[in-house]
Structure 1
């Protein structure tokens, strides 16, 4: 075995290790996406943006929303993808910082909506977990079926 020292780059994820913690980000990968795509291949662009979500949860909602429509994208989806690229261009140095901490508590959050998607009236739910002060898992899913509960009518 060979010791190459501290990890600096792995599968498109850049890693900075210091005394205060570990910072993961994808600046080079984001720059490559911005340079490569002339936007004519929107489906491949969205796939690239989805991979970027490993270190950029700030664009997760926008990218996942666009990805829902990649079977039959329209001009508005292309415009939204361009807007995400412009945002990335101005925030290339953002990522996730995992700092050293004596806090070893596992915390979790969850949230959901009821029929929040205006196109198909499906609900979305999500959850996230943090260990200490670092996010270790997050997920957001659209439910596969539509819930049909009667609306409450209030007579005031």
Structure 2
């Protein structure tokens, strides 16, 4: 009986550790667009790659900045973000509202190894590229940020205006 309990505990711990590992693009499972599973958010929704109307390249660097750091898109536009990590450490680009990104950054401070692969984010290893396809359905002021622990706090935040 003790062996069964020990095995069960080991299996639960192994599953929990993978559930909280904050992965990069190689750890994230390949994502396939499924219109039936698209979630509408306060800042838009996952975009259909077949309906991209514009591509925007964004660079991330170890000076904790995005280039460009100020983006403007039109409401209804589906944008493919090509995100390049020109630095030496893992960076990510996460789209969201100011409040949602601040809350997510706080969660990342508490659980720095948390893994998640949502359509509004790209985790990118040094020297590599990632991609986000997003449809901007609502006008407003939004942000994009790197939520790796310490990066958000160091100012790795950009502004996204949807007109």
TM-score computed with the length of structure 2 as normaliser: 0.25
Name the structure where strand makes up a greater proportion of residues.
Answer: 2
TM-score computed with the length of structure 1 as normaliser: 0.26
Name the structure where helix makes up a greater proportion of residues.
Answer: 1
The structure having more radius of gyration, on CA atoms, is 1
